[in-house]
Amino acid sequence: MSILIPTVKSDSRKATETSFNRLPSLPSWFDDILGKGFGNEFMTNFNTGITLPAVNVIDNANEFIVEMAVPGFKKTDFQINIDNNVLSVGAESKSESQENAENFTRREFGYASFKRTFAIPDSVDSEHISAEYQDGILKVTLPKRDEAKKKPIKTIEIK
C-alpha cells in the first residue's frame, strides 16, 4: 500500500517546493515532517524563514483534494496556477491602520504571504481543477482522468 505525501524541499535560491511522492506508510516519519507536537497550525521552514500553511492531501477514488489551513486571507488574496504538471498555490495579504491623537501617533501594519508548489501526477485532469475558500480552509480539487480512476474488483467465474 502506498500513500501520497507532500514533502518540503529547498533549492539553492531558497524557494520552497512541495511534491507528491509515493512512499510506504511511515506514520512516525510523517508526523516528524508535519511537526506533530509543536502545537501550531503552521509548519516553519527555518532554513528559508518562510512560514508554510499546514496541508492535507486526500486521495479519493475520483480525485485528489488538497486542503490548506490559511485563516485570515480573503478569496481575492489567492493565486492558483497550473503549468507543466506543477500546481502553484500562493497568497499575499497586506493591512495597515493608523490612529492619531493629541500626544501620539500609532501606526500598525501587517503582511502575510506564502507559496506552495505541488508536482501533480499525469492522472489529474488539469482542465477541471477547482478551488474554494471557506472558514480559513482553501480546498483545491484535482479530478482524476477517467482512465486513472479505480475500477471495482471484477470476479472471474471459473467454468
Q: Which domains does the chain have, with CATH numbers?
A: 2-72+82-89+115-147 (2.60.40)
Residue 96: the pLDDT is 83
Residue 107: the pLDDT is 78
Which residue type, as a one-letter code, is found at position 117?
A: T
pLDDT tens for the chain, 159 residues long, are 434 445 444 444 444 444 454 444 445 444 555 544 444 444 444 444 457 899 999 999 899 999 999 998 999 999 999 999 999 999 998 888 888 877 778 878 888 889 999 999 999 999 999 999 999 999 999 999 988 777 788 889 999
Is residue 65 a contact partner of residue 140, using CB atoms and an 8 Å limit? yes
Tell me which residue has cell 507532500.
Answer: 6
Residue 23: the pLDDT is 47
Tell me which residue has cell 504571504.
Answer: 113
Residue 65: the pLDDT is 96
Residue 117: the pLDDT is 92
Residue 151: the pLDDT is 76
Distance CA 32, CA 13 (A): 25
At residue 111, φ and ψ (nearest 5 deg) are -145, 130
Three cell numbers, residue 58: 486526500
Distance CA 148, CA 150 (A): 6
- Beta strands (DSSP E) in 2-159 are 2-10, 16-24, 42-45, 50-53, 55-59, 63-69, 78-83, 86-100, 105-119, 130-134, 137-143
Give the length of the chain: 159
pLDDT digits (tens, 9 = 90+) for 121-139: 999 999 999 999 999 999 9
Residue 55: the pLDDT is 94
